[in-house]
Structure 1
């Protein structure tokens, strides 16, 4: 099996995305200039420029005329993670027509991780793409116990892990984007009222489509 090496542009993008994840770069921070980034990553200014352009187009960075490039504070449209997100409603609220395309529905043996959370030997996996005005913006893989119907109506809360990533060949094909494009990956576990895990979800969001806002509440004393 041949493993495709990341291009120099992808390596710079991944490095900058890592800075966002680790907090090395925070919203509002100014990006180092092309010379410093080229020196850091061992690449040309042209390579840095292309990598930064991809992050600008995806909404992770913003350019201020005469000042420089900064980490974006307010990408396009937003929806909170304090409750279960209705993506169709979020797309419509952003002024687009929402549609969904089911790619595949499969019943298969559960992986060890799926069995650990769902306590099921077999799972139903549903692959879908959500579209805004016909443009793919979210690719998802939902898994729930095969002996139950879709548990969407049972879901009362969810725990989600968010991580910037880059599209591999498979994700690029599903979302009709170039390999190496920035994506936001959401790894989520949904629970019913008694607290049982009823669905596992993996989602990949096109970078310029949504901003996910995490609202935190103070715990009661």
Structure 2
């Protein structure tokens, strides 16, 4: 259900008076809106407009923005530029291990999908060429894809692929799991990877695909994937910072950092 500009607020959210007292009004409003999201609205539903909330509760725009901003920070709400503020989609959990995006999302209970943004054969940047052990000027397959979970954009994957082990890769189904096809079609299963993660500000070109604002925080995964000792893939994956979180379990016997857990929103 989406609450329109002129539609009345659902029952439990109406006629609640915000009082002057020890609890700031933005905290009172935050509690009311949180209850509204849990009881009257569902994931993906639009929150009433700022003007509607101001009129309904007799508070200032600053109070409304503070309450809504806290709920966005808590992951209860999410802002979509140019569209409005919505109840956040339910959180699904994903274990960060050596698996394709499709496999990882299915295990997390989400429906994965992929949109191909570009696919070509070209000379890779020097660093990618060296990683894939290509000769100077040798071309590789370059595939850029938008990855989605439950139709919500999660990441943009920008990958270079070794043509010596993946002949005619561009004829494969690039919307499906490439890792599964590496194994079934080419006989080079991905069984090892080296990966680093950094937090960065999202550039404008990726922000457009991820439906966020330029400069919003993103997690950038720099990954080299191998089949045994053969370098197959060099990929940069940029994840929305508000929909993907990293959790780590550390113990004294695991210098590599134990197990990692990802969270996709």
Deviation at 1:213, TM superposition (A): 4.3
Q: Please, what is the CA RMSD of the aligned residues? A: 3.1
CA deviation map 1:104-148 (0-9, x unaligned) = 111111221122111222111111011122221111011112343
CA contact (8 A) 2:124 2:160 kept: no
- Aligned counterpart, 1:174: 209
Deviation at 1:53, TM superposition (A): 5.8
The alignment status of 1:157 with 2:192, answered yes or no, reads: yes
Candidates 139, 152, 155, aligned match of 1:122: 139
The alignment status of 1:218 with 2:262, answered yes or no, reads: no
- Aligned counterpart, 2:101: 87
TM-score normalised to structure 2 length: 0.50
The alignment status of 1:202 with 2:236, answered yes or no, reads: yes
Secondary structure of the corresponding residue to residue 85 of structure 1: coil
Gapped runs of 5+ residues in structure 2?
1-65, 77-90, 170-178, 256-265
- Aligned counterpart, 1:109: 123
Q: Distance in 2 between matches of 1:188 and 1:128?
A: 15
TM-score normalised to structure 1 length: 0.59
Deviation at 1:214, TM superposition (A): 4.9
Deviation at 1:184, TM superposition (A): 0.8
- Aligned counterpart, 1:186: 221
CA contact (8 A) 1:185 1:203 kept: yes
Higher RCO structure (Cα 8 Å, ≥6 apart): 1
Larger radius of gyration: 2
Q: Distance in 2 between matches of 1:123 and 1:54?
A: 45
Gapped runs of 5+ residues in structure 1?
1-48, 60-75
CA contact (8 A) 2:165 2:232 kept: no
Q: Distance in 2 between matches of 1:199 and 1:214?
A: 25
Q: Distance in 1 between matches of 2:75 and 2:215?
A: 12
Secondary structure of the corresponding residue to residue 146 of structure 1: coil
Closer, same or farther in 2 for the Cα pair 1:55/1:158, shift >3 Å? farther
Secondary structure of the corresponding residue to residue 174 of structure 1: helix
Deviation at 1:205, TM superposition (A): 0.9
Q: Distance in 2 between matches of 1:78 and 1:54?
A: 20
CA deviation map 1:6-45 (0-9, x unaligned) = xxxxxxxxxxxxxxxxxxxxxxxxxxxxxxxxxxxxxxxx
Moved more, 208-217 or 124-133: 208-217
Q: Distance in 2 between matches of 1:139 and 1:117?
A: 20
CA contact (8 A) 2:94 2:108 kept: no
